Structure 1
Amino acid sequence: MIAALAVVTAGLLAFHRAVPNSVGRAGSLLESFLPWLGLVVVVLFGAALLRRSATALAALLLPVAAWTYLFGGLVLPGAGPGGHGLVVVQHNVSDENPDPAGTARALADARPDLVALQELVPRALPVYERTLAPHYPYHAVRGTVGLWSRYPLTDARLLDIKPRGITAAWNRGLRAVVRTPHGDIAAYVAHLPSVRVRASGLASSWRDESAGLLGEAIAAEDLGTVILLGDLNGTADDRGLAPVTSRMNVPERGFALSFPAALPLARIDQVMARSATVGRIRALPATGSDHLPVAARISLG
């Protein structure tokens, strides 16, 4: 039985794309928590030792190899990419955050060059603007998303990633040009629709549609270098984000699980780049949000 479970676990890791999404978005649901299959391997290893089963221990080499291939690089040490770089912070600050000023100070303490925020509500926005202003003289806000920068921002505009089924006011995308000392960069800030895990499976149709619109916008971007910062409500492995992840580089090191803040299970807060390299990504200490902030260094060279 242990050997059989080991083979099944290895199959899910190696062939997760073969799990269909037609019923309950089962494939996306599996991919949202794919790294956690490593815990299954640990449990099976313990059971194999207790039973002193050589067959089971041999079979466990399969899921170990598959997990290492998929995620082993994320746990390796590394100084990060070289060349010219930017430090960026991404954070869904929560529309119920009781301490926006403290959250803003905590983000500034990480000394990033760019700060991307989501769930900016009218009562809290002036607090973020006032608190971040001494460190970030340039900022742009569209709807409930914003970008703060050490460098000048130009051509800031609303990014339309609203699914057709949402009829209420909904502005959760921003595109701006960052005039860095190393050249102009297109910065995208996005907050894709939430997903829900229900008895019928993963409800993600609006998120998937919004990801498609975001992917199309990035594909049409004239500037060569693009940075994407956002709460994408999905992991980099989730095929629902394929319109985006197929066009962008994802972090080379670090898991940086960001949600929920009290017990992080997945990184749905993302830093990605085109024609640039995202080095190690890390989670920052908790703020008043239900998400953890994440920080990463992006190499432009």
Structure 2
Amino acid sequence: MAQRFRGGLVAAAGTLTALVLAGHRLVPNWRGWGNTLDSALPWFGLVVPLLAVAALARRSRLATAGALVPAVTWGVMFGPAFVPAVRAGQPDLRVVHQNVNMANPDLAGTARALRAARPDILVAAELYDDPVLMNGTVDPAFAAEIDPDLPYRFPDNPGIAVWSRYPFVGRPKSVPGVPRSRWATIRTPHGRVNLYAVHLASFRPGERWVIAERNAQVEALAAAIRADPSPRIIVVGDLNTASTDRELRALTETLSPAAERAGSGLQFTWPATLPLVRLDHVLTRGLEALDSRVLPRSVSDHRPILADLRFPSGREAGAGR
């Protein structure tokens, strides 16, 4: 009997890991710990090699099966993120974003690094987002580096600053229920696109009201996207929401993550020194993702991200001018 069930502990551990991976959304979200579990899911892959070693040591078919089940589950969930999309051609829009950190002592250097990525649209969070201190403006040293290349700038900065190579149609507006947000239509040579720049509330496990505010802002943003009839939308910013967080589903029901579509890996962005989770995102509708990358770190606690986007084939050149 003992021989028959040799490796049972390994099998049980593997089965439990697979069940957590597959059924994480069923875990109650008490004080945000369900969201925290969601955010940690990619790291459950580290359990697989440990189980594999244990299975080899036990020399048991039961243990081997126990190691394979979570390996397959993890592969199904995260494997597609590592399959590069094969899309030829040049991008129509390059979007770059970074939470530059309010305590950044070298904003000019950070701006130069972002400018070197040659964005068509640049979104910067925490660029002095205190409306009393800065009167809703951006840091002059940062702006001096960006303005020459990207001449169109959102006129105010509620914690999210935006530059564009192409002009805006009308005055940018805020998203109801999302204080640090602005959206506007941008007129590009390839057609119009609605850009939503956002910096959602922080996520702190165990702090119920903070998490409730983040979750409410995710839903408010999702409601605005659902109500937007535009065929082409870009949402970019620090969403303080991991790619695997159950709350992000409210957005990904109608938008596609550029990183996932480009097949460029998990692309963690925070903390910058040793990224453990992706909090910064580019989500799109009606656009193709040719590339998505995490750029080298600068003086910030978040790493910058880049997304190369293309308007769908068959578009009318200059449509929407």
- TM, length-normalised to structure 2: 0.85
Distance 1:45 1:17, change over 3 A: same
- The yes-or-no answer on 1:286 pairing with 2:297 is yes
Runs (5+) with no aligned partner, structure 2: 1-8, 129-133, 313-321
Pairwise CA distance, 1:12:
1.2
Give secondary structure in 2 for the equivalent of 1:77.
Answer: coil
Residue type at the aligned position of 2:271: P
- The yes-or-no answer on 1:189 pairing with 2:197 is yes
Pairwise CA distance, 1:34:
1.0
Between 1:92-101 and 1:78-87, the stretch displaced more is 78-87
Runs (5+) with no aligned partner, structure 1: 164-170
- The yes-or-no answer on 1:222 pairing with 2:233 is no
1:7, 1:69 → 2: CA distance? 15
- For 1:45-194, what aligned pairs fall within 5 Å after superposition? 45-80=52-87, 85-121=92-128, 122=134, 125-140=139-154, 141-162=156-177, 171-194=179-202
Residue type at the aligned position of 1:112: P
Contact 1:31 1:237 (8 Å CA) reproduced: yes
Task: Tell me the percent identity.
Answer: 38
Q: 1:4 aligns with which of 7, 12, 15?
A: 12
Contact 1:159 1:175 (8 Å CA) reproduced: yes
Give secondary structure in 1 for the equivalent of 2:25.
Answer: helix
1:277, 1:235 → 2: CA distance? 22
Equivalent position of 1:273 in the other structure: 284
Pairwise CA distance, 1:256:
1.3
Extract structure 1 runs of 4+ deviating beyond 6 A. Answer: none
Give secondary structure in 2 for the equivalent of 1:282.
Answer: strand
Residue type at the aligned position of 1:19: V
Distance 1:124 1:226, change over 3 A: closer
Give secondary structure in 1 for the equivalent of 2:119.
Answer: coil
**Structure exhibiting the larger radius of gyration computed from Cα positions:** 2
- The yes-or-no answer on 1:263 pairing with 2:274 is yes
Distance 1:98 1:84, change over 3 A: closer
Give secondary structure in 1 for the equivalent of 2:241.
Answer: coil
1:214, 1:240 → 2: CA distance? 11
How many pairs align?
292
Contact 1:91 1:293 (8 Å CA) reproduced: yes
Pairwise CA distance, 1:5:
0.7
Contact 2:291 2:308 (8 Å CA) reproduced: yes
1:286, 1:202 → 2: CA distance? 31
Distance 1:9 1:156, change over 3 A: farther
1:213, 1:115 → 2: CA distance? 23
For the aligned residues, what is the CA RMSD?
2.1
Give secondary structure in 1 for the equivalent of 2:293.
Answer: strand
Give secondary structure in 2 for the equivalent of 1:158.
Answer: strand
Equivalent position of 1:297 in the other structure: 308
More helix by share: 2
Distance 1:278 1:16, change over 3 A: farther
